[in-house]
Amino acid sequence: MNSTIKKFGYSENLIKEYDYWVVLYRPQQVTIGSLVIICKENKFNLGNLSKSAYVELKLVIQHVEKFLHKKLGADKINYIALMMVDPHVHFHVIPRYSCKIAINEKYYYDIYWPKPPNILGKIDINESEKLYLIKFFQNNF
């Protein structure tokens, strides 16, 4: 397990694990349903990933998109591969919504729609809401 996976809280934030990738709840939710897809390989550049990791990435993205579109109602999905602070290959997944989203009787808004998201911003979510969301994501992924 690489340091990027650990930093994003593998044990408590795991949504789904694959052979080459993990999908984690993003601790700072830019919009509701923000995720991080992190490669398990010790690679720092997209071009250095194994062929097997690339093949599996397609499946991971299909699962992520199905979840975000069908279960959360995302209109669009933004993928950001920065790898500036956290060096291992990973993608921030920011679902985008044109209207409010209700989960567990709480409404969430994409305040920047249709402009680019503020990747440094975050929704105010308390610990009990976070635990509910992680379980909800795991059960519906």
Q: Return the pLDDT at 72.
A: 96
Q: Return the pLDDT at 79.
A: 97
Number of Cα atoms under 13 Å in the Cβ half of residue 48: 10
**Mean pLDDT, to the nearest integer, of 8-26?**
98
Write the CA distances from 13 to 2, 16, 87, integer angstroms: 15, 9, 19
Q: Return the pLDDT at 64.
A: 98
Q: Return the pLDDT at 12.
A: 97
CATH no., domain 3-140: 3.30.428.10
Q: Return the pLDDT at 78.
A: 97
pLDDT band at 138 (very low <50, low <70, confident <90, very high): very high
Output the CA torsion 15→18→21→26 (10° steps). 0
- Kindly calculate the radius of gyration of the chain based on its CA atoms and give it in whole angstroms: 14
What is the rounded CA–CA span in Å between residue 68 and residue 57?
16
43-73 tens-digit pLDDT: 999 999 999 999 999 999 999 999 999 999 9
What is the rounded CA–CA span in Å between residue 92 and residue 43?
16
Output the CA torsion 139→120→86→11 (10° steps). -30
pLDDT band at 28 (very low <50, low <70, confident <90, very high): very high
Q: How many CB atoms lie within 10 A of CB 7?
A: 16
Q: What percent of the chain has pLDDT over 90?
A: 96
- Cβ neighbors of 88 (< 8 A, separation 6 or more) are 2, 3, 4, 5, 38, 39, 41, 42, 43, 44
The residue ranges of every structural domain in the chain are 3-140
71-128 tens-digit pLDDT: 999 999 999 999 889 999 999 999 999 999 999 999 999 999 999 999 999 999 999 9
Q: Return the pLDDT at 57.
A: 98
